[in-house]
Structure 1
């Protein structure tokens, strides 16, 4: 049952694979089809917030039914993302951790702290020497920069 077991990306990946296999949906789960389904679910998630304006953390003014609906749509997005990564042969957990490392290089704490502008390290005068670690083709830090 939900909530009684530890949930990991790997456990979700396995459950999604089993779910699709039991229904003979594997032939339809191409990366393209899964991506389009994911985009549709993100649209449904967006509709929940569409006319609400800014909402405070924790959604204190929302009713339980609204929060449950939100949880269902967030889950749809997560499940399609997990399935898409599986069909593409990407370890989503490892990719996310790597991306966090890249972002830590791109957005160092001190120059970026408290700023919503998201300026990269190359925009901060104290980090001008870091510009040589940026890989212009990827929009982020190079593999070499991560090894340093």
Structure 2
């Protein structure tokens, strides 16, 4: 992850793009790319969505859009000083507290907010 972040910083610096990589712009770009990823699934059935990577063309598009989402997210986190791995682990810890396996196994219901 650290190497990817260093590569992104160098990529942006070589093109003098840091000036455009504000949190607002990166968040907007991330949302746009997430929309492009979503569009790849828009008219698929649930069954087709599970096997989308079996189609070489569709799989390539999904992989490319997923990479765009990941890259914008990691760049945004870097600009804001967020350690994404730590933040993800913290979020999983919170999920484990909110959704104990015995109560929520097989259920899609939301847990009440932590107090």
**Scaled by the length of structure 2, what TM-score is found?**
0.91
> C-alpha separation between the residues in 1 aligned to 2:17 and 2:53?
39
The alignment status of 1:10 with 2:2, answered yes or no, reads yes
> C-alpha separation between the residues in 2 aligned to 1:60 and 1:74?
13
The alignment status of 1:19 with 2:11, answered yes or no, reads yes
> C-alpha separation between the residues in 2 aligned to 1:57 and 1:115?
21
Structure 1 residues without counterparts, runs of 5 or longer: 1-8, 123-130, 136-148
Alignment of 1:65-84 (within 5 A): 65-84=57-76
1:44 is matched with 36
1:106 is matched with 98
How many residue pairs match? The answer is: 115
- Structure having the higher Rg: 1
The two structures, once aligned, show a CA RMSD in angstroms of 1.9
Match of 1:97 among 89, 92, 111: 89
1 or 2 for the larger relative contact order (CA 8 Å, sep ≥6)?
2
Structure 2 residues without counterparts, runs of 5 or longer: none
**Scaled by the length of structure 1, what TM-score is found?**
0.71
> C-alpha separation between the residues in 2 aligned to 1:89 and 1:23?
21
The alignment status of 1:30 with 2:5, answered yes or no, reads no
